Amino acid sequence: MANIKLVRIDFRLIHGQIVNKWIKATLSNKIIVIDDTLASNDFMKSVYTMAAPPGVDVLIYGEDEAVSKWKENQFG
Residue 52 contacts residue 14 (beta carbons within 8 Å): yes
What is the pLDDT at residue 54?
87
Question: Which position among 15, 25, 41, 53 bears the catalytic label?
Answer: 15
pLDDT, tens digit, 9 for 90 and up, residues 15-69: 777 677 888 888 888 888 999 999 999 999 999 898 888 899 999 999 999 999 9
Q: Residue 51: exposed, middle, or buried by beta-carbon count in 10 A (0-12, 13-18, 19+)? A: middle
| 15 flagged as catalytic | yes
